[in-house]
């Protein structure tokens, strides 16, 4: 974008946007908002009833439209849940990658990834619930192959950081990196079942509490667990 004195002149002398173009842009924006609204409504139904049990008619009824009108936006309910899950995973993985790219020490990166995980509980609550409840069903279909690929990438990111921390002497060497990751993962995602927005603790406070337990432990004094050979 230019930043000189001619900007105003060119703007004033340029061809004005036609009413037809403005109308098309407005219609496109409204359609996009409507689509986003339908995705959110459907996501809540999927989370509440389960993906398999939710019908297109129920989604349409929730939106106050006819079933046929829903097909103007989506060709199937699979397309809707596809958007719900891919949006969540794209956001999650992008945030994890950014945390790693900061080139901080492994403990700092791991702490940030815990915060990222808990931070998704509100904006992506429905997607996380669907992942837990309908994972085995959805992964049967080729169009959802990306779910397994995304899970594998997330695991690799976490395990690599745990191993890096062990190599640097920041983490205990006698714990299994993959098992440790899976315990952390399950703690975060299962929280979606009991966490309630507006409660005593928000997601940030949950994350900080978990980080404290993760790195400082629960017991006081010397370690009571035995190192494995």
What does the pLDDT read at residue 47? 96
Task: Decide if domain 76-216 falls under CATH 1.10.3470.10.
Answer: no
Higher local confidence (pLDDT), 135 or 223: 135
What does the pLDDT read at residue 198? 85
What does the pLDDT read at residue 226? 53
Mean per-residue pLDDT of the chain:
86
What does the pLDDT read at residue 67? 85
| pTM: predicted TM-score of the whole model, two decimal places | 0.81
Residue 21 has pLDDT above 70, yes or no: no
What does the pLDDT read at residue 40? 95
Higher local confidence (pLDDT), 6 or 20: 20
pLDDT tens for 136-182 read 999 999 999 999 999 999 999 999 999 999 999 999 999 999 999 99
Residue 229 has pLDDT above 80, yes or no: no
> H/E/C letters for each residue in the chain?
CCCCCCHHHHHHHCCCCCHHHHHHHHHHHHHHHHHHHHHHHHHHHHHHHCCCCCCHHHHHHHHCCCHHHHCCCCCCHHHHHHHHHHHHHHHHHHHHHHHHHCCCCHHHHHHHHHHHHHHCCCCCHHHHHHHHHHHHHHCCCHHHHHHHHHHHHHHHHHHHHHHHHHHCCCCCCCCCHHHHHHHHHHHHHHHHHCCCCCCCCCHHHHHHHHHHHHHHCCCCCCCCCCCCC
Residue 7 has pLDDT above 80, yes or no: no
Residue 114 has pLDDT above 60, yes or no: yes
Residue 9 has pLDDT above 70, yes or no: no
Q: What's the rounded mean pLDDT across residues 73-92?
A: 94
What does the pLDDT read at residue 54? 96
């Amino acid at each position: 974008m230019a930043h000189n004195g001619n900007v105003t002149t060119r703007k004033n002398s340029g061809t004005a946007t036609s009413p037809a173009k403005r109308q098309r842009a407005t219609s496109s924006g409204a359609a996009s908002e409507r689509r986003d609204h339908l995705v959110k409504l459907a996501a809540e139904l999927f989370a509440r009833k389960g993906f398999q049990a939710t019908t297109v008619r129920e989604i349409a009824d929730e939106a106050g439209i006819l079933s046929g009108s829903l097909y103007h936006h989506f060709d199937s309910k699979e397309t809707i849940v596809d958007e719900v899950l891919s949006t969540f995973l794209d956001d999650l993985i992008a945030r994890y990658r950014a945390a790693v790219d900061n080139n901080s020490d492994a403990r700092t990166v791991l702490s940030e990834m815990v915060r990222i995980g808990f931070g998704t509980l509100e904006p992506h609550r429905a997607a996380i619930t669907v992942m837990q409840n309908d994972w085995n069903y959805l992964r049967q279909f080729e169009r959802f192959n990306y779910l397994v690929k995304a899970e594998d990438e997330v695991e690799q990111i976490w395990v690599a950081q745990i191993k890096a921390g062990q190599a640097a002497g920041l983490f205990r060497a006698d714990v299994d990196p993959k098992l440790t990751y899976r315990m952390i993962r399950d703690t975060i995602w299962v929280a979606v079942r009991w966490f309630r927005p507006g409660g005593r603790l928000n997601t940030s406070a949950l994350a900080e509490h978990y980080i404290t337990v993760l790195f400082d432990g629960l017991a006081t004094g010397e370690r009571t667990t035995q190192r494995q050979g």
